[in-house]
Amino acid sequence: MTPPGPLSLNTVTVRDAWTLAQCIEGCARHGIPGISPWRDRLAELGVAAAARHLRDAGLHVTGLCRGGLFPAADATGRAAAIDDNRRAIAEAHAIGADCLVVLGGGLPPGSKDLPGARAMFHDGLAAVLPDARAAGVTLALEPLHPMTCADRSVLSTLAQALDLCDELGPGLGVAVDVYHVWWDPDLARQIARAGPRIAAFHVCDWLVPTIDLVFDRGMMGDGVIDIAGVRAMVEAAGWQGGVEAEILSRRWWAADPDAVLRLVKQRHAAC
Amino acid sequence: MTPPGPLSLNTVTVRDAWTLAQCIEGCARHGIPGISPWRDRLAELGVAAAARHLRDAGLHVTGLCRGGLFPAADATGRAAAIDDNRRAIAEAHAIGADCLVVLGGGLPPGSKDLPGARAMFHDGLAAVLPDARAAGVTLALEPLHPMTCADRSVLSTLAQALDLCDELGPGLGVAVDVYHVWWDPDLARQIARAGPRIAAFHVCDWLVPTIDLVFDRGMMGDGVIDIAGVRAMVEAAGWQGGVEAEILSRRWWAADPDAVLRLVKQRHAAC
């Protein structure tokens, strides 16, 4: 097994403890060469200031979280999501991010129309894709685990994301997060199909038991995902980028962030 | 929309309150024509006595829960699972069940080898299929929601279940439970593919938020699943059987079982 590509810290991993500026300092202190910020933390610091900090720190920005979330109850809401994605694309460009991570969004409140919500996602994506192409920003479609389908992501599988890539064409890619796809019986085939469209590779782990559908992700190595196996698949598909650690976890949010970064580094080296 | 097929009570819906004998009486009292017992409750009453009670009550037994669960840490465990499935097949035959519901089982403790666990499921199924054929008992492969993959079901999608049906042949079918498959982007196509192999149709609902990965299923109508839409799909595929209500829920287990049965009847009529 080859050693893993360079580590990137998704800032949500230390969401409650650190601002973006602190995350940038933390990466420098721990020798972590990559970072992937969330937009709320970017807004706090200001996009221009953040771009300067990131550049001065020499950090590789592996992604910006997050765009998408197109389904909405009415046309006004859908237009607002499209506008917001245009801003997100501009922000991703400004900070030199490898991609904008794009999430499906859930069903509009009160709706049971899943095909309808998926059509809204398709249409919103088609609306902002020209902006992404013009800015040179790859939109990385990230399917989330099916347990989030109702309220967070009607984009549920790599196959579904790649069908959208096939249909809508250049400017789109996929973000492969082991947490969201490890269970998929079709995983090996879809990763091979993705090939050069893999735009991000995220890791954490699936805990047994998992006690929360959103905020109980595990530190790499603490769960049951064969992370090295999935990494071998994405590398066989041509992925030469790094490994972004993204751990949404009440447990780790309550821990000392420097200790979390040390452990992330150890576990990254191990798997 | 045609009215739904006849209602069946999966006894886990009132798991904590009623024995199988009480469930049989409850179905008679509420005019519910079908029932699907779990094996632990069957064992309490005794298989022969249960078969007699069920027949005397004129109940249609839409399934027996549950067989499968083949993955195990060692050969002894795998052989024990196969033996237990042979007993389950005999029990399903004895009570005249339409099918034995077969679950994937989770990863063996400590294992990260998901393809390996899936191979164990395949091999266990192949081992007991001749017994099922000899007994005239359909093995209904029930994919469970991917959030159960680690510890309950390495059988995750209808596509995966139907691939096994294709490979292993007659005697196998699928159990379509809306809770487990509603999110699947490939749902319509896989239900059409299933056709006459649909051996059971289970309903409950997906709540927002869902606060437990196993025991927080919703009463039909309380969540976001388009149950009528999925029913239309299975009926278009040729399903002429009934609708089995199977609600694993700490909330409803704490409620008065007669009130639960009244509500199940109302909601069944409505969707």
Tens-place pLDDT, residues B168-221:
999 999 999 999 999 999 999 999 999 999 999 999 999 999 999 999 999 999
Q: What is the mean pLDDT of chain A?
A: 97
- Asked whether A85 and A92 are in contact (CB, 8 A), the reply is no
* Confidence grade of residue A9 (pLDDT, cut at 50, 70, 90): very high
pLDDT at B2: 83
pLDDT at A259: 98
CB contact (8 A) between residue B213 and residue A209: yes
> What's the length of chain A?
271
Fill in the DSSP letter of residue A8.
Answer: E
pLDDT at A40: 97
Please say if the pLDDT value at position A77 is more than 90: yes
Tens-place pLDDT, residues A14-55:
999 999 999 999 999 999 999 999 999 999 999 999 999 999
d(CA A108, CA A105): 9
Q: Which of A147, A150, A225 sits opposite B147 (nearest CB)?
A: A147
List chain A residues with CB under 8 Å of B209: 151, 213
CB contact (8 A) between residue B224 and residue A150: yes
Token match 């079908």: residue? B34
Using a CB–CB cut-off of 8 Å, the residues of B that contact A are: 107, 111-114, 118, 145-147, 149-151, 156-157, 159-160, 182-186, 206, 208-211, 213, 223-226, 229
pLDDT at B58: 97
DSSP conformation letters of A140-170: EE-PPPGGGTTTTBS---HHHHHHHHHHH-T
pLDDT at A178: 98
Judged by phi (left if over 0) then psi (alpha if -120 to 50, else beta), residue A131 lies in alpha
Token match 């769960």: residue? A223
- Asked whether B184 and B157 are in contact (CB, 8 A), the reply is yes
Average pLDDT of the segment spanning A199-211: 98
d(CA B194, CA A112): 24
CB contact (8 A) between residue A151 and residue B225: no
Q: Which of B146, B186, B226 sits opposite A183 (nearest CB)?
A: B146
Of A267, A259, A257, the closest CA to residue A231 belongs to: A267
Residue A113 to chain B, least CA–CA distance (Å) = 7
Please say if the pLDDT value at position B271 is more than 80: no
Burial of B43 (0-12, 13-18, 19+ CB in 10 A): middle
- Asked whether B182 and B230 are in contact (CB, 8 A), the reply is yes
Q: Provide the percentage of residues in chain B whose pLDDT is more than 90.
A: 98
List chain A residues with CB under 8 Å of B226: 112-114
Please say if the pLDDT value at position B1 is more than 80: no
Tens-place pLDDT, residues A150-195:
999 999 999 999 999 999 999 999 999 999 999 999 999 999 999 9
Residue A91 to chain B, least CA–CA distance (Å) = 31
CB contact (8 A) between residue A183 and residue B114: yes
CB contact (8 A) between residue A182 and residue B149: yes
Convert A158-182 to b/e letters by CB count within 10 Å (16 or more is b).
bbbbbebbeeeeebbbbbbbbbbbb
> What's the length of chain B?
271
List chain B residues with CB under 8 Å of A145: 146-147
d(CA A35, CA B134): 60
pLDDT at B26: 98
* Confidence grade of residue A224 (pLDDT, cut at 50, 70, 90): very high
- Asked whether A191 and A206 are in contact (CB, 8 A), the reply is no
Strands A99-103 and A172-177 come out as unpaired
List chain A residues with CB under 8 Å of B158: none
Radius of gyration of chain A (CA): 17
DSSP conformation letters of B67-121: EE----SSHHHHHHHHHHHHHHHHHHHHTT-SEEEEE-B-PPTT---HHHHHHHH
Please say if the pLDDT value at position B3 is more than 90: no
pLDDT at A264: 98
pLDDT at A2: 84
